[in-house]
Amino acid sequence: MVILGLTGSIGMGKSTAAAMFRMLGVPVHDADATVHKLTGPGGKAVAAIEAAFPGVVKDGAVDRQALGKAVFEKPPELRKLESILHPLVRQQQNRFLRSAANRRARLVVLDIPLLFETGGDQFCDAVAVVSAPESLQRIRVLSRPGMTEDKFRSILAQQVPDAEKRRRADFIIPTGRGKRPSLQSIRRLIKVAETLPATHWPPKGPPRRTAKR
């Protein structure tokens, strides 16, 4: 089973690309959705987050706005949060991989926004990066409710630059020319990715990337 990491900077169209993989029959694990479940009502991360950041839990769920204020531009606090969330996300990810393997999936996608930043690419056979022109990225992001220039710059500062992501990618999915070209690119990508050697599942020792294609 080939494991494809899917990533991209904020506003580049990763969620749309992930939806296209699903539409084409490829199982996708959404790391962001997993975090929402872990921090939602009854989530496994709620108690630990409340202990680490008192006051951010309301009605049994993490108040994302309050948590954001607690870690915004505070690297030590952000690392503390990541130390809580990342192991739990990894557990859910491995359950997804086991389930997909049992269903004999040829290719799966791990949709991880901070794939390179967290070293998640080590667990993938290849990586696909979604990318669009910087001007379009800015328009998309600043149109989001509650987004500001300062917040946008802070988010970008925490992410590997788009140019570096593209340099490290095995595949690049363009998202700046409309959905049809993106879908065509993903169709071609799937055909190639399914032929790659699968070296990461089942796990065998330390994680390693296959050679770049």
Helix-helix angle 14-23:179-193, to 10 degrees: 60
pTM: 0.89
Q: What is the pLDDT of residues 11-62, one digit of tens each?
A: 999 999 999 999 999 999 999 999 999 999 999 999 999 999 999 999 999 9
What pLDDT score does 207 carry?
Answer: 58
Position 55, amino acid: G
What pLDDT score does 204 carry?
Answer: 72
Mean pLDDT by 10 residues, the chain (213 residues): 97 96 98 96 96 94 92 87 94 96 97 93 96 96 94 91 97 94 97 95 67 54
> CA-CA distance, 164 to 185, in Å (whole number)?
20
What pLDDT score does 179 carry?
Answer: 93
